[in-house]
Chain A
Amino acid sequence: MPEQTQPDPTILLVDDEDAIRGGLAAALSRARFHVLEARNGQEALKLVEAHSPDVIVLDIMMPEMDGREVCRRLRQGGNWTPIVMLTQISATGEKISSLEEGADDYLNKPFDSYELIARLRALLRRQAVAGKPAHLANVLVSGRLRLERSAQRVWLDGKDIPLSNKAFGVLAHLMGRAGAVVSREQLLDQVWGWDDPAGMRTVDVRIAEIRRKLGDHDFIETVPGEGYRFLDPVKVEG
């Protein structure tokens, strides 16, 4: 049966560990995903070509071609299918590099299947856009504010604004999802990346830093009981 006609979203699961891949495939099928499996990067690329999955789960450490390389090749080829990367090392650097390589989300091993399913649903809910989505773009511009992800710098009216790494991460995350409310939990998870969250107030401290350093401009709105939202529209450059 051709996958395109399936009402359930198609997921490509790429991991060289049979026990993990098999276990996840069963759990994802129960959660009404149509599951394709690949053992390595080469197989993964062939399956993407043949079946155009809706979302990809990609382990990093694999023989033949690792997850990073798969991600890089897909993005270079203009394929923006959402990717969840299964990182092996949780150091912030590792996470940043997976995001730089174009993964939409990452998950640390060990995780349980419910965690993964929740992430996948969140990714699939995001409205599909043609071309590179804002959360993967390198340069984001909103009025007088300009953010460059690779250089980790922010300019307001052309003036360089020094932000701490975490404050930069929060601003980049919110700008990449302009208009959407992002919860403190999501920010902690995506920007901090520690398994044991540092606490909600930690997020507020960084929001306060961004507001203080960007002056009186109301770029970020507090949505009581929900989280934060970047208000103005954001343009993607590069």
Chain B
Amino acid sequence: MTRLLGWVGIVVVIIGVLAAFGVRLALPADRLRFEFWADPAVATLIVAVLIALICLAISAILRWRFASLRRALTRQAAAQEAERRQFLQRLDHELKNPLTAIQVQLDNLQAVAADNHQAIREVRTQADRLTQLTRGLRRLADLETRPLEVERVAVDELLDEVIDLIQAPPDRLQLDVQRAPWPLPPIQGDRELLLMVFRNLVDNALKYSAAPVQVRARELSGALVVEVIDTGRGIPADDLPRVTAELYRGANTHDVAGSGLGLAIVQRIVERHGGRLELRSRLNQGTIATVQIPYEH
């Protein structure tokens, strides 16, 4: 809009100059005597310059207003983000003491109630779910403040470790790490956090897919690219942009246990390594989670 006004100003000046020439040429010869104020060409030019100046002034004012509005919006977004994080932290904090009391009193109840009382078991299961949630929230909060411990990380070894940790049957996971023409170079990163990234992604893929999951690692345009590919239920298109938000879970995941924090944690860790997480998915066909981390960051 403001740019348009600027251009309008310039065009008006050009048209004004041309019009002034036109007026001079169109005038009869007897009027060629030069009288500055009475000259219609000069008047046309003055009007054109005035219109142009007004356009430029409006353009400058609008530009200034937009910039300050944008700054205010950015500030507001940052404040909201900080507030949201603080809220999650407070939530974790406020859940901890009651949950400890519940866990401890459940132990006491179990000591006096009949062995393996169904109700106690059920309450314990639910308390454990809440405990997992508080742990996830705390981990997310930790990620904001914890300094990265950067070192040289051999990606193939790290992925082997993920497979070891997950203990998936060998026919459920296919690992394909670049070996030729040169082996995948090691990356500079926080080993344990990167382990958590790939562990979460592979865990997710296995959770939502019955078919084998592929993990591919490549070096591509100066970045480490790891893809975790499943042929599972996929993420609905409406959910796709939001699944990395804290506590958000896809509409088709409610039958599977989860805290809604895994992908948020993955994204935060990848961002802290200067990289990005990309999710592509088709409903009932599968999902590709791609982690890209630049080698130089």
Partner of B191, one of A17, A110, A205: A205
**Which residues from 44 to 91 on chain B have a C-beta closer than 8 Å to any C-beta of chain A?**
none
| Stretch of A20-28, A38-46, A120-128 contacting B (4+ beta carbons < 8 Å) | A20-28
Residues of B within 8 A of A199 (CB): 161, 164-165, 195
Docked complex Cα distance between A195 and B92 (Å): 14
Q: Is the CB of A19 within 8 A of B101?
A: yes
- Nearest CB in chain A: distance from B265 CB, A: 10
B contact patch SS: helix
Most buried by B among A88, A114, A199, A202: A199
Docked complex Cα distance between A165 and B103 (Å): 33
The residue of chain A having its C-beta at the shortest distance from the C-beta of B196 within the complex is: A198
Given A91-B145, A91-B146; A112-B96 close (CB under 8 Å): no
Partner of B142, one of A90, A110, A198, A202: A90
The residue of chain A having its C-beta at the shortest distance from the C-beta of B127 within the complex is: A110
Q: Is the CB of A20 within 8 A of B104?
A: yes
Given A19-B105, A88-B93; A110-B149 close (CB under 8 Å): no
Docked complex Cα distance between A1 and B191 (Å): 55
| Stretch of B130-138, B207-215, B285-293 contacting A (4+ beta carbons < 8 Å) | B130-138
Q: Is the CB of B134 within 8 A of A30?
A: no
Docked complex Cα distance between A88 and B127 (Å): 18
**Which residues from 75 to 110 on chain A have a C-beta closer than 8 Å to any C-beta of chain B?**
88-93, 109-110
- Nearest CB in chain A: distance from B165 CB, A: 4
**Which residues from 111 to 170 on chain A have a C-beta closer than 8 Å to any C-beta of chain B?**
111-114, 164-166
Partner of A24, one of B104, B135, B192: B104
Q: Does A192 contact B (CB under 8 A)?
A: yes
Q: Is the CB of A90 within 8 A of B111?
A: no
The residue of chain A having its C-beta at the shortest distance from the C-beta of B103 within the complex is: A112
Docked complex Cα distance between A97 and B98 (Å): 25
Residues of A within 8 A of B127 (CB): 110
Q: Does A64 contact B (CB under 8 A)?
A: no
Docked complex Cα distance between A192 and B149 (Å): 12
- Nearest CB in chain A: distance from B260 CB, A: 16
Q: Is the CB of A110 within 8 A of B107?
A: no
Docked complex Cα distance between A201 and B106 (Å): 34
The residue of chain A having its C-beta at the shortest distance from the C-beta of B108 within the complex is: A26
Shortest beta-carbon contacts, A-B, top 5:
A23-B104, A19-B101, A110-B99, A110-B100, A109-B96
Give the B-binding residues of A (Cβ under 8 A): 17, 19-20, 23-24, 26-27, 30, 88-93, 109-114, 164-166, 192, 194-196, 198-199, 201-202, 205
**12 additional contacts, CB 8 Å, given A110-B100, A201-B161?**
A27-B107, A88-B96, A89-B138, A91-B146, A92-B142, A109-B97, A110-B134, A112-B106, A164-B151, A192-B192, A194-B139, A205-B191
